Amino acid sequence: MPTQIPTPMKQLAAAALALSMLPPVAAAEAELHISRSGSRTLNTAPAQNFTGRVQVEMLHTPDGPERTSAGTVSFSPGARTAWHTHPLGQTLIVTSGVGRVQRWGGAIEEIRAGDVVHIPPGVKHWHGAAPGSAMTHIAITEARDGKAVDWLEQVADAQYGALPPTAAAAPAQPSQAQRLLGDVAPKLAQLTDDVLFGDVWARPGLSPRDRSLVTVSALIAMNRPDQLRSHMSLARDNGVSKDELVETLTHLAFYAGWPNAVTAAGVAREVFANKP
Ligand code: MN
């Protein structure tokens, strides 16, 4: 079959047809943007809108016609936002720790790693860490007319409930170490309170959640059910979920031994009954 050589007119028509089938040029030229882990800056949240130490790492700042921002917000224990509203609402994804959220007129709700909070447009609210735990969440917020938040008054200590005046004036409760061994080994109780929990556990190098996870793992590996009981309970307070604790003991059956994992499962049942 002889090859037909197209005329210039036919070539033009073919080119026009091919062009009409292509997507718009601008869309084809847009590049993906990947901001690498560790490359983004941490900023301290402004004191006029926050109480306590709060760090913000912007994950995405809207560009051009975009309206949605995303940021990671890390609250130290006791830190929180001021009261505020979002014109088009906000979604919070808790990634570690234990925190609190409250809408105006509603109860204070506890939030933990894995929880997702949606705040409807215009609802006055605050969010932050629990008094005894740090909390980190990712916040996804859509702006209207370039504005994503309307700030209001600070959350007073009495509203936050961290240290209501009556609790602060009440005599301090004996620590768990004092109750367990204060009578027989007072120095060990004092070292446990001041050095272990007052210094080592308070160091920022590991989050309380991660410290709980490694401590629970070590106690399972050593088959120490008495200490495991209180540390599984503390791990729940520090944001380790029940599913994560069960996954931990299942995983450790292969490294620490099946009997250790079975003992740990029995301890977990007791702890979950008291701290679901
Ligand atoms: Mn908010």
Verify that 192 and 227 share a domain, yes or no: yes
**Cα distance between residue 76 and residue 104, in whole Å:** 23
Distance from the CA of 95 to the center of ligand 1, in angstroms?
16
Residue 173: predicted pLDDT: 67
Choose the weakest-confidence range: 117-121, 149-153, 202-206.
Answer: 202-206
For residues 67 and 89, the answer to whether their CB atoms sit within 8 Å is no
pLDDT at 61 over 50: yes
pLDDT tens per residue across span 132-189: 888 999 999 999 999 999 999 999 988 898 443 333 344 456 788 888 888 999 999 9
Verify that 129 and 161 share a domain, yes or no: yes
Buried b (16+ CB within 10 A) or exposed e, 74-96: bbbbbbbbbbbbbbebbbbbbbb
Residue where the block lists tokens 């994950």 = 59
For residues 61 and 92, the answer to whether their CB atoms sit within 8 Å is no
User: Residue 223 — very low, low, confident or very high, per pLDDT cuts 50/70/90?
Assistant: very high
CATH at residue 128:
2.60.120.10
Radius of gyration from C-alpha coordinates of the chain: 27
**Cα distance between residue 245 and residue 170, in whole Å:** 35
Output the CA–CA distances (angstroms, integers) from residue 17 to 12, 13, 22, 168, in the order listed.
Answer: 9, 6, 9, 79
**Cα distance between residue 73 and residue 195, in whole Å:** 29
Distance from the CA of 227 to the center of ligand 1, in angstroms?
39
Share of the chain above pLDDT 90, in %: 63
Verify that 190 and 150 share a domain, yes or no: no
Domain enclosing residue 125, as ranges: 42-169
Distance from the CA of 244 to the center of ligand 1, in angstroms?
28
Distance from the CA of 139 to the center of ligand 1, in angstroms?
8
CATH at residue 182:
1.20.1290.10
**Cα distance between residue 220 and residue 267, in whole Å:** 10
